[in-house]
Amino acid sequence: MRRLVVMAAAMAVASSVGCSNARYVHKSGDEGIVAINDDTDGFPFYNRTKAKKLIEAHVGPDYEIIEEREFANGTIDTTHQDTNRQAAFNPNNPFLPAEQETTTTTTTTTPKTEYRIAYRRTARSGVAIGSGGSIPPPQGGSVLPASHTAPAALSGGIAPPDLSGLNN
């Protein structure tokens, strides 16, 4: 029982610590850019899921991803110091041991990157992008309730797309 409690506490710490920083880089009107550490969606970070939640909080569930790419935004410097000790001759007292110490320092610079997702709201549900109003009905047609799917002849000759197979 005690082991289970310790394991649960360790998992809670692991999921709360770390880099859960999905953040807005740019946000305006009906578009924006979200940044995450990398394009992964696994335990414990769920980066892509957190990015999608930010996007949906800004523009709602109807959006399209315009561009995704890794973006360099700085560098990371890593310094490694290695100390080597070896026996040496003691010139002051030849009968006592002496030691020679050599220290080597290596600094490595690597690019710091993040994954950025550019998105914008799509024009579904009868809302025109940028206008804040409704799309006018086709000439000579009538407006049908949102729950009704209009046949191609009534909707201006173009049948609506079948979105039933999409996974969100």
User: Does pLDDT of 57 surpass 60?
Assistant: yes
Look at residue 109 in the predicted model and tell me its pLDDT: 95
CB 126 within 8 A of CB 147: no
Look at residue 91 in the predicted model and tell me its pLDDT: 86
Strands across the sheet containing 63-88: 23-28, 31-36, 98-121, 63-88
**Of 54-63, 124-133, 156-165, where does the model show the most confidence?**
54-63
Mean pLDDT of the chain: 75
The residue type at 159: A
Look at residue 123 in the predicted model and tell me its pLDDT: 78
Q: For the segment 133-142, what is each residue's pLDDT rounded down to a tens digit?
A: 433 443 444 4
User: Does pLDDT of 131 surpass 90?
Assistant: no
Q: How far apart are CA 25 and CA 50, in angstroms?
A: 14
- Phi/psi at 83 (nearest 5 deg)? -110, 130
Q: For the segment 140-150, what is each residue's pLDDT rounded down to a tens digit?
A: 444 444 444 44
Domain boundaries, given as residue ranges, for the chain: 15-121
